[in-house]
Structure 1
Amino acid sequence: MKRRRSAPPKKLKGLQKLGIILFLLIAIIYATVFLGHRLFFKPPYSAKPTIPIIENTQFKLGAAAKKQPQNTKEYLTILAKQVKLYNQNLEQFWPDNPLKNYELLAQDISNKKASLISTKGQIKSLSKKEFKSYDVSSLPFDGQWAFFDSKDRKGAYVSIMPQNIDNFYYFQKYEHLGTYDQFLSYNHELFHKVTQERWAETSFTDNNREERLEDKATRRQKMLLQQQLKLAISEENHREKHIKNALATYQDYRESSPKDYKEALLYDRLEGTAYYYELLSSLFASYPEQVTTHEEALNALKLLMADDNPAYRMTGLISEGYSTNAFAGILLDLLALEKEQDPNQWKMIIEKQGDTTPLLLLEKEFSNEKLPIPSELPSEKDYEDWVEENRALSPNATTTENIFTMLYHFLY
């Protein structure tokens, strides 16, 4: 007689069922995330530039003017060149520039491979153990930034998302760089972390980073201010007139929106100067055949600011601090050169005087001048169209698309 096999214990059967259920759930989750990210909730993508070359007889600027990398290896070569050129020209960006010998640690978040780029543009692939020694947090998101100071090395960490390297929607609005934009997390953020740390203390206060977008009348005032400052940069023959118009708008803004004005001052000071530094240094790093001197960089900025370029429009209390005060910094440079004065003078004042901004220094330059009556504000429709033209250059992913992108890179 054949011996009958005893039935598996009920507990074992239950565990088997639970295991099967868990396996199926995990498979469903992986499949849902994969199909959702790849097919149904793909973020906006363009393999071709939608902004034409910005050019004149002296310059050809923007992403459309450059041959773009197609993968991480090609991008690292370009990034290394940008780092090298940037470090070769440090003294042209800020007086007594403290950002010497800061390297760049770049990591491809799709495969976790990391590379260290020296200030001379040399690329060194790092092992997992070597990367871990830098003690930086690595998350599956594009645009991650961290400061590192490890043993005898210091610098910035940035994350690279390969599918954004050739996605023009992602980076084309940064026309002063013209490539995938992780270099901007190097020059801009290190300026905050290192250079601004030596500055005099300020009494300006933080407003918890509220953009105050609901205050449309005030945002329209700052729209007009940006337009007038850009005209002052780009139209040399009418510069003084445009500056006075801008200062009239600024004074009207201060009187009509005192709370907004007060809460913007910290961002005007910190973000405005960092954005000025970003604009100037990026041109040297990315356009070495066209920009080798401070004067050439200013001429390139005149071209980029012409015709109220949609790429250089910002709205919101904090965001406007970037643009209005970077533009004011550019104008302070231009005015100093016109008067045969040192364009670094205003930068040294910013460092030593905690309660000032580039825009306040520009206002001081014209303190003895009579200003015109403030110009009429743009209409609400003009404002909405103005903002939309900027957004169209870099369409935002929806919340659902962002969630699926995050989950995809976390799981795969």
Structure 2
Amino acid sequence: MAKVKGKHRVRRFFKWFFIVIIGLVVLLYATVFIGHKFLFKLHSTNQPTIAAVSSSNYRFGAAARTQPKTMLGYVKVVSSQVKNYNEHLNNYWPNNPQKNQYLIAQDVKTKTAYLVNPSGEYKKLTSKQFDSYNVPSTMQVTGEWNPFSGNGIEGAYITVSPQALSNYYVYQRYEHLGTYDQFLSYSHELFHTITQKNWGDSKYGNLNRDERLSDSTGRRSRMLLMQQLSLAITDTANRDTHIKDALATYNQYEKQDKKDYDASILYDRLEGTAFYYELKSALYAAYPNQVKNESEVYPAITALLKNDNPAYRATGAVTEAYKVGGYAGILLDLKSMENNQDPNDWKNEVAKDGDATPLTLLAKEYEGQTLPSPQTIPTKQAYKKWIGAYNKIDPINSQPAIIFNVLYAWLYGGE
């Protein structure tokens, strides 16, 4: 009799144990669904909130073109970008090692994947074919990427959410591309993993990528620096004046905020050169009828940056570095061409010298010349207004919204 009662107790225990487990699982799924869909939604808009960049020769930006709404539609777009990009490969970097790179794009919801070859030809992959390329696993949210190598080829793997294709907040800031931005994982990110792999080591740190947003002086100093470098690109008649203003700002910044300077210089080097590469290569890839050669790429960049374009503003020691280094790289090209020098010289130097950045190399071009007194850095109010205009283009999602988006992708397989 005691044994029978014992068996009943065990059965009841497991019965309630499974009921509790199932209840918790249902609660988890329901909480994540409600949190993601209703309480903590990511910012979204199905219409561009900024106008196309237009001039007499150019028309750039997401508002300048019809955006794909399906995975296959996007694959056709990114395949064309890959094709155009590879046709001009040697215009971006000397002895460009990013040759013969493939692209695998996967829908995070359906898991449908496509392989794009360097010539822009694409094909749908079976599950078995996809596995043969040894693609690293990801969280399966849109916008992820990984390098892959398998089955005799290598390249970049990207995740795509068809829903994100219609959300202009995701990509409208990349006016040099004008579409959903995952092509940049193919160009910019592979520049990090392939081209920069054998570069000289740097003595500078901040490996945790601290943005140092609480350093108001640093952020406002580099705000002014970005404005001056951008103006040096767009105001061709006064280029030298603006470069000297920028160098005076940079010298003062180094003296007055050495900690912030040390935290940013590695990224001025690595992210700055990668953004330089991104900016040029994206224009060739996305606008083949407007940008066909080097004589057209620099006026195109001028058109993009004119009037301190809010889409190209940034804040944070690391995030600013994309623009600081990238703009300095463009100016090094322009100065080289003005002086009948090889624009590749600075690129070879930045790769060899682990402590060099495009901006420090630009400063070398002006050694021995008298610099003006540094301009006063913007006020906190001016900085807030300046970066606020960018935040309207690319609104900051709340931490709960980001967390629920990741959890939703894990539980429901993306959307």
TM-based fold match above 0.5: yes
Residues 204 and 355 in structure 2, CA contact (< 8 A), matched pair in contact too: yes
Indicate if the aligned counterparts of 2:53 and 2:59 stay in contact, CA closer than 8 A.
Answer: yes
Match of 1:51 in 2: 50
Moved more, 36-45 or 282-291: 36-45
Kept in 1, the 8 Å contact 2:102–2:116? The answer is yes
SS in 2 for 1:103: strand
Amino acid aligned to 2:184: L
- In the TM superposition, residue 203 of structure 1 has moved relative to its aligned partner by 3.0
Deviation at 1:207, TM superposition (A): 4.5
Matched, 1:306 2:289: no
Q: Give 3-state SS (helix, strand or coil) of 1:156's partner.
A: strand
- Does structure 1 retain, via aligned residues, the 8 Å contact 2:48–2:63? yes
Deviates further, 148-157 or 50-59: 148-157
* SS of match in other structure, 2:147: strand
Structure 1 residue runs of 5 or longer lacking an equivalent are 1-5
Structure 2: how far apart are the matches of 1:349 and 1:242?
24
Return 5+ residue gaps in structure 2 as ranges: none
SS of the counterpart of 2:306? helix
Q: State the match for 1:108 in structure 2.
A: 107
Match of 2:364 in 1: 364
Q: Which moved more, 1:310-319 or 1:98-107?
A: 310-319
Partner of 1:389: 389
**CA shift at 1:13, angstroms?**
4.3
Aligned pairs (5 A) from 1:311-330: 311-330=311-330
d(CA) in 2 for partners of 1:35, 1:354: 49
1:177-188 equivalences under 5 Å are 177-188=177-188
Deviations 1:141-168 (A, max 9, x none): 2222211122410111111122111100
User: Root-mean-square deviation (CA), in Å?
Assistant: 1.8
The two structures have a TM-score, normalised by structure 2, of 0.94
Counterpart-to-counterpart distance in 2, 1:157 and 1:344: 29
Structure 1 partner of 2:175: 175
Separation in 2, partners of 1:219, 1:87: 37
SS in 2 for 1:149: strand
| Offset of residue 122 of structure 1 | 1.3
What SS is found at the alignment partner of 2:318? Answer: helix
**1:374 is matched with which residue?**
374
**Taking structure 1 as reference, are residues 260 and 25 closer, same or farther at Cα in structure 2, changes over 3 Å only?**
closer
Deviation of residue 304 (structure 1)? 1.0
CA distance in 1, matches of 2:218, 2:138: 39
Do the aligned partners of 1:230 and 1:308 also contact (CA within 8 Å) in 2?
A: yes
Distance across 2 between alignment mates of 1:315 and 1:140: 28
| 2:224 counterpart of 1:224 | yes
Q: Deviations over 1:189-228 (max 9, x none)?
A: 1101111123233333345321111110121111000001
- Greater shift in the superposed pair: 30-39 or 91-100: 30-39
Code of the residue aligned with 1:216 in structure 2: it is: S
The residue aligned with 1:284 is 284
Q: Classify the secondary structure of the residue corresponding to 1:382.
A: helix
Give the structure 2 partner of residue 193 of structure 1.
193
Q: Distance in 2 between matches of 1:406 and 1:376?
A: 43
Q: Is 1:342–2:342 an aligned residue pair?
A: yes
Which amino acid is 2:293 matched to? T
The equivalent of 1:22 in structure 2 is 21
- In the alignment, the residues of structure 1 paired with residue 183 and residue 81 of structure 2 have an alpha-carbon distance, to the nearest angstrom, of 7
Higher deviation after alignment, 231-240 or 252-261: 252-261
Aligned to 2:203: 203
Contact 2:217 2:257 in 1 (8 A): no
Aligned residues: 407
Displacement of 1:238 in angstroms is: 1.1
Deviations 1:17-59 (A, max 9, x none): 4434433333333233223322332211100000101110010
Counterpart CA distance in 2 for 1:178 and 1:78 is 11
Are the aligned partners of 2:225 and 2:249 in contact in 1 as well (CA < 8 Å)? yes
- Provide the C-alpha distance between the structure 1 equivalents of 2:204 and 2:158, rounded to a whole number of angstroms: 30
Contact 2:142–2:160 (CA<8 Å) still a contact in 1?
yes
Measure the CA separation in 1 of the matches of 2:207 and 2:133. Answer: 33
2-structure distance, mates of 1:14, 1:343: 75
Contact kept? 1:55, 1:61, Cα under 8 Å: yes
User: Given that residues 132 and 151 in structure 2 are in contact (C-alpha distance below 8 angstroms), is that contact kept between their aligned partners in structure 1?
Assistant: no
CA distance in 1, matches of 2:207, 2:259: 10
Contact 1:99–1:195 (Cα < 8 Å) also in 2: yes
Worse-matched range after superposition: 391-400 or 50-59: 391-400
Q: Deviations over 1:300-343 (max 9, x none)?
A: 11011111111111112112221111000011111122223222
Aligned to 1:235: 235
3-state SS in 1 of match to 2:114 = strand
Distance in 2 of aligned mates of 1:354 and 1:9: 72
Q: What is the Cα deviation at residue 263 of structure 1?
A: 2.8
Equivalent in the alignment of 2:263: 263
One-letter identity of the residue aligned with 2:314:
M
SS where residue 106 of structure 2 aligns? strand
> Hey, what's the Cα distance between the residues in 2 that align with 1:397 and 1:88?
37
Q: Is the 1:109–1:139 contact (alpha carbons within 8 Å) kept by the matching residues of 2?
A: no
Q: Which residue of 1 aligns with 2:148?
A: 148
Q: CA deviation at 1:10?
A: 4.8
**Structure 1: distance between partners of 2:270 and 2:359:** 12
The 1:138–1:260 alpha-carbon spacing in structure 2 relative to 1, beyond 3 Å, is closer
Aligned equivalents of 1:30, 1:208: Cα separation in 2: 33
Letter in 2 for 1:125: K
- CA–CA distance in structure 1, aligned partners of residues 29 and 349 of structure 2: 56
Tell which deviates more after alignment, 358-367 or 122-131.
Answer: 122-131
**8 A contact 2:139–2:406 mirrored in 1:** no
Quote the residue 1:3 is aligned against. none
Which residue in the other structure is 1:97 paired with? Answer: 96
